[in-house]
């Protein structure tokens, strides 16, 4: 009896892969994981401080604008992290940003800001649920499913007001504050919302049993099924969460533009996927962190703003971003093969 009691109380040693799934803290392992990303951010800041004329890049006002620019992409990337973690993909988030924006702005005068936000996020969650249900209940690959819903959402946004922008009236101060207000006179409201989603995503993924199940599904789907994890339910919830993130991003983006643009969100999915991959989330599933995604979004934001302020032609900016995504995916494949 005594030996059995000792066996029950003996601490269990997790495998290396399981340890990486524990909540992220200020541990030596976390420092090693994020050190390359932090080093890349430091190098980019120094590079653009020297490259951008008149030293405008590292001014406080420019850095605050940079954080505001990063916020929308980071919110999208947080939702995509969970999707990619389970081995999925969502190409529709950019189009859902536009759809959520036009729905929210169209409801402003009748339902007020709260009803408008609920409507915009509700439409986005609907697209996310559709993606999740098709991915969970059919044999179709998520790439094709979300490509189709991307076209549907874009067509919905373009046809909602005959492809015309929907301006936001100046008296809708509460709605406009979501994308333009600054708390304390300097901290942008989108950044506050971004950190709210960051905390929610971090706790959800790294601090709950639901998050542990997502790692298990992405690591080995069949093994997760045999352990009794409800894969279909988790998949639907993950895509719905990704849709909600896209809806919030669409509302913030519309507020920032002072209008809902049916063509908004073009290419947003590529920037978000780039942030997720740069942050260390594996396209094969089972590996990833929310803090890493935030650092990846910061790198993409610095690249976008720095290249733009340095006067680099937009065509070259696409080439640079594509090369960064390719390098990140190559490194992920190289790292996994070396572990094997």
User: Is the confidence at residue 289, as pLDDT, over 80?
Assistant: yes
Are the CB atoms for 193 and 248 separated by under 8 Å? Answer: yes
Prediction pTM value: 0.90
User: What CA–CA distance (Å, rounded) separates 29 from 13?
Assistant: 16
pLDDT tens for 146-164 read: 999 999 999 999 998 888 9
Are the CB atoms for 81 and 284 separated by under 8 Å? Answer: no
Structure tokens at 65: 């604008």
In degrees to the nearest 10, what's the CA dihedral of 228, 230, 92, 304?
Answer: -50
pLDDT tens for 232-256 read: 999 999 999 999 999 999 999 999 9
According to the model, what pLDDT value does residue 20 have?
41
Residues 6+ apart with CB under 8 A from 156: 99
User: Is the confidence at residue 314, as pLDDT, over 90?
Assistant: no
According to the model, what pLDDT value does residue 318 have?
86
> What's the whole-number mean pLDDT along residues 3-25?
41
According to the model, what pLDDT value does residue 336 have?
72
According to the model, what pLDDT value does residue 28 have?
52
User: What CA–CA distance (Å, rounded) separates 83 from 226?
Assistant: 21
- Cα atoms in the Cβ-side hemisphere of radius 13 Å centred on 12: 5
Are the CB atoms for 239 and 246 separated by under 8 Å? Answer: no
Q: How confident is the model at residue 1 (pLDDT cuts 50, 70, 90)?
A: very low
CA distances from 255 to 104, 107, 279 (A): 10, 14, 28
Are the CB atoms for 250 and 96 separated by under 8 Å? Answer: yes
Q: What domains can you pick out in the chain, each with its CATH number?
A: 70-265 (1.10.3470.10)
CB atoms within 10 A of CB 97: 33
Long-range contacts of 135-143 (CB under 8 A, 24+ apart): 135/88, 135/235, 135/239, 136/231, 136/232, 136/233, 136/235, 136/236, 137/232, 142/83, 142/88, 142/89, 142/90, 143/89, 143/91
Task: For helices 189-206 and 231-257, give the axis angle rounded to 10 degrees.
Answer: 170
Residues 6+ apart with CB under 8 A from 123: 96, 99, 100, 103, 247
Structure tokens at 254: 């519309």
pLDDT tens for 80-122 read: 999 999 999 999 999 999 999 999 999 999 999 999 999 999 9
According to the model, what pLDDT value does residue 141 have?
95
């Amino acid at each position: 009896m005594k030996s059995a009691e000792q066996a029950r109380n003996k601490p269990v040693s997790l495998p290396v892969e399981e340890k990486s799934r524990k909540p992220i803290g200020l541990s030596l392992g976390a420092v090693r994981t994020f050190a390359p990303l932090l080093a890349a951010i430091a190098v980019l800041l120094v590079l653009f401080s020297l490259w951008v004329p008149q030293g405008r890049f590292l001014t406080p006002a420019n850095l605050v604008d940079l954080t505001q620019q990063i916020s929308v992409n980071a919110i999208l990337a947080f939702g995509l992290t969970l999707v990619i973690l389970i081995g999925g993909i969502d190409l529709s988030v950019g189009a859902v940003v536009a759809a959520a924006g036009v729905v929210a702005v169209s409801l402003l005068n009748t339902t007020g800001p709260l009803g408008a936000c609920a409507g915009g996020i509700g439409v986005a969650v609907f697209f996310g649920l559709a993606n999740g249900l098709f991915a969970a209940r059919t044999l179709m690959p998520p790439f094709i499913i979300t490509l189709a819903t991307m076209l549907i959402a874009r067509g919905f946004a373009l046809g909602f007001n005959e492809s015309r922008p929907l301006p936001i009236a100046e008296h809708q101060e509460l709605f406009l504050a979501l994308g333009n207000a600054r708390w304390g006179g300097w901290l942008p409201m989108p950044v506050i919302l971004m950190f709210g989603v960051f905390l929610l995503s971090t706790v959800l993924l790294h601090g709950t049993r639901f998050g542990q199940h997502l790692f298990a599904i992405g690591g080995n789907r069949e093994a997760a099924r045999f352990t009794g994890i409800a894969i279909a339910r988790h998949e639907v919830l993950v895509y719905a969460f990704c849709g909600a993130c896209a809806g919030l991003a669409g509302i913030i983006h519309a507020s920032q533009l002072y209008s809902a643009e049916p063509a908004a969100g073009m290419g947003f999915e590529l920037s978000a996927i780039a942030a997720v991959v740069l942050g260390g989330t594996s396209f094969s599933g089972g590996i990833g962190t929310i803090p890493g995604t935030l650092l990846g979004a910061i790198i993409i934001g610095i690249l976008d703003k720095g290249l733009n302020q340095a006067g680099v032609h937009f065509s070259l900016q696409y080439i640079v971003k594509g090369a960064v995504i390719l390098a990140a995916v190559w490194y992920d494949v190289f790292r996994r093969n070396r572990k094997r």
